[in-house]
Amino acid sequence: MNTLLSTSFSLPGQLHKYTGKVREVFTLEDDLLVMIATDRLSAFDVVMPKGIPYKGQILNQIATQMLQATQDIVPNWLEATPDPAVSIGKRCTPFKVEMVIRGYLSGHAAREYKAGKRELCGVAMPEGMIENDRFPSPIITPATKAEEGHDEDISREEIIRQGIVAEADYVVLEKYTRALFERGSQLAAEKGLILVDTKYEFGKTADGTIVLIDEIHTPDSSRYFYAEGYEARQKAGEAQKQLSKEFVRQWLISNGFQGLEGQSVPEMSEEYIETVSNRYIELYENITGEGFVKADLSQIEARIEQNILHYLANR
The set of residues, in sequence order, having a beta carbon less than 8 Å from that of 158 and lying 6+ positions away, is 122, 164
Per-residue pLDDT of 302-315, as tens digits, reads 999 999 999 999 98
Angle (CA) 72-76-77 rounded to 5° is 155
Looking at the structure, do residues 111 and 236 belong to the same domain, yes or no?
yes
Q: Which of 169, 183, 187 is nearest to 290 (CA)?
A: 187
> What is the extent of the structural domain holding 169?
94-243
Looking at the structure, do residues 61 and 137 belong to the same domain, yes or no?
no
Looking at the structure, do residues 147 and 25 belong to the same domain, yes or no?
no
The identity of residue 126, as a single letter, is P
Per-residue pLDDT of 88-124, as tens digits, reads 999 999 999 999 999 999 989 999 999 999 999 999 9
243 pLDDT more than 90: no
Q: What is the number of domains present in the chain?
A: 2
What pLDDT, on a 0 to 100 scale, did the predictor assign at position 60?
96
Per-residue pLDDT of 278-307, as tens digits, reads 999 999 999 999 999 999 999 999 999 999
Give the domain-ending residue among 188, 212, 243: 243
* Mean pLDDT value across residues 183-200: 97
What pLDDT, on a 0 to 100 scale, did the predictor assign at position 148?
56
Per-residue pLDDT of 136-172, as tens digits, reads 999 999 999 766 556 799 999 999 999 999 999 999 9
CATH assignment at residue 238: 3.30.470.20
Task: Give the span between the Cα atoms of 145 and 156, in whole angstroms.
Answer: 14
Looking at the structure, do residues 85 and 104 belong to the same domain, yes or no?
no
What pLDDT, on a 0 to 100 scale, did the predictor assign at position 44?
85
What pLDDT, on a 0 to 100 scale, did the predictor assign at position 192?
96
